[in-house]
Amino acid sequence: MIVGITYDLKSDYLAEGLSEEEAAEFDKEETITGIEQALKNLGYQTERIGNVKHLLNHLANGKRWDLVFNICEGIHGSAREAQVPAILDIYEIPYVFSNPMVLSLTLDKGMTKHVIRDWGLPTPDFCIVESSEDIDNIKLPYPLFAKPVAEGTGKGINASSKINNALELKQTCIELLQKYHQAVLVETFLPGREFTVGVVGTGKDARALGTMEVIFKPLAKDFYSYENKSNYHEMMDYAVPEKEVTEKCEQLAVKAWQGLNCRDGGRVDVRMDDKGTVNFIEVNPLAGLHPIDSDLPIIGYKHHISYQQLIAWIMESALKRLK
C-alpha cells in the first residue's frame, strides 16, 4: 500500500516571511520523518506530498495514492484544516483523520462548544465577540477567559487572557480582534486542574489512550499559552493523575470525541471548575505528532505506549474505512 503524507512544513513558511508565532502550528522536519519512518516500519510504502498546493499539483499530474496520512493545518480561511480532506474526497482518495465537516467545526471553538453543550456535556458558559460592539453585551460573571476562536498551539493566550473586570475585557477583546482578525471566545474562567486526554479510534471504537495533567510552573501563570508550549521544559510539568480523576477526564473526552464525530486519533483538553467537575475546553482532531515534543506522543510515553504503537493504532482506525 502506498501512503502519501500531506503536511505544512514550518521551515517553508518561515522562509516565506511568516513569524514564529504565525507558523507555530506547522510541522518540523522531525515530525514528517517520524511519521514516515513509523509507517515504513509498519510495512507501508510512503511518498511525501507536502502542503495543499503541492497536493493539487500532484493530482493535476495524475498522481494517486492508496491512502493519505494528512496532518495539514492549512494557512488561509476559517475552514483551512478541511481543505486537504475536501480535495481528497473529490478525488475519492481515502485519508487518515477527520473529514471536512468535523475539521471545519472543531477549528471554531465557539461552534464546537455549542455542539458539546447540546450533547449535555459540561463546558464553561461562553459568548462570542465578533466586534467591539459585542463586548458590552457580555453578562457572564468575572473572572473570564478570552482567546481567538479559531487558533491552536496556544496562540493568542497570555497573561491578559484571564479577565477580572470590564476594562480588562474590553482591552483584551479589542487586542485579539485586531491582531488575529477573527472572533474572540469569552468564557467563564475555570480555576481547577487542567488535563489533556489522548483518544484513538472512531465512533464506537474510540477509546482513551491516556490522560496527562498539565501542571504550570510559577512562570507559566496557569495558562497553556503559545510561549509556555514552546518552552514546556522550563514552564510546564506533565504527570499522570490519580485513577478517579483519570476516569472522569477520559469518560468526558471519549463522549466529546464521539459526539463530534472525530476520527482515528487526537486530543481533548479538559479542566476542572471550582467544584472539581471536569469540563470540556476544546478538541484537537489534528493533534501534533512530533515524536518528542507533541502532547499526544507525550501522553503515550506517560502510559508506556510507543510512538510506533500510536501510529499503528491511528492507521488501524483509518483502514477500517477501506473495508
Adjacency order of strands within the sheet including 144-148: 126-129, 184-188, 144-148, 162-163
Rounded to whole angstroms, how far apart are CA atoms 126 and 188?
A: 6
Instruction: Please give the pLDDT value at position 222.
Output: 61
Give the pLDDT means over successive 10-residue stretches in the chain (323 positions).
97 90 90 98 98 97 98 91 98 98 97 97 97 95 95 85 96 96 96 96 98 86 66 84 97 98 98 97 96 96 98 98 87
Is the distance from CB of 107 to CB of 83 less than 8 angstroms? no
Instruction: Please give the pLDDT value at position 139.
Output: 94
The SS3 of residue 149 is coil
236, β-bridge pairs = 216
Q: 79: which DSSP letter?
A: T
Instruction: Please give the pLDDT value at position 308.
Output: 98
Burial 70-94 (b: 16+ CB within 10 A, else e): bbbbbbeeebbbbbbbebbeeeebe
The SS3 of residue 138 is coil
> What string of DSSP letters covers 222-291?
T---HHHHHTHHHHEEEEPPPHHHHHHHHHHHHHHHHHTT--SEEEEEEEE-TTS-EEEEEEETT----T
Please give the model's pTM, rounded to 2 decimal places: 0.93
Instruction: Please give the pLDDT value at position 154.
Output: 82
Instruction: Please give the pLDDT value at position 21.
Output: 83
Rounded to whole angstroms, how far apart are CA atoms 64 and 92?
A: 10
Neighbours of 217 (CB within 10 A): 14
Is the distance from CB of 89 to CB of 104 less than 8 angstroms? no
Is the distance from CB of 312 to CB of 306 less than 8 angstroms? no
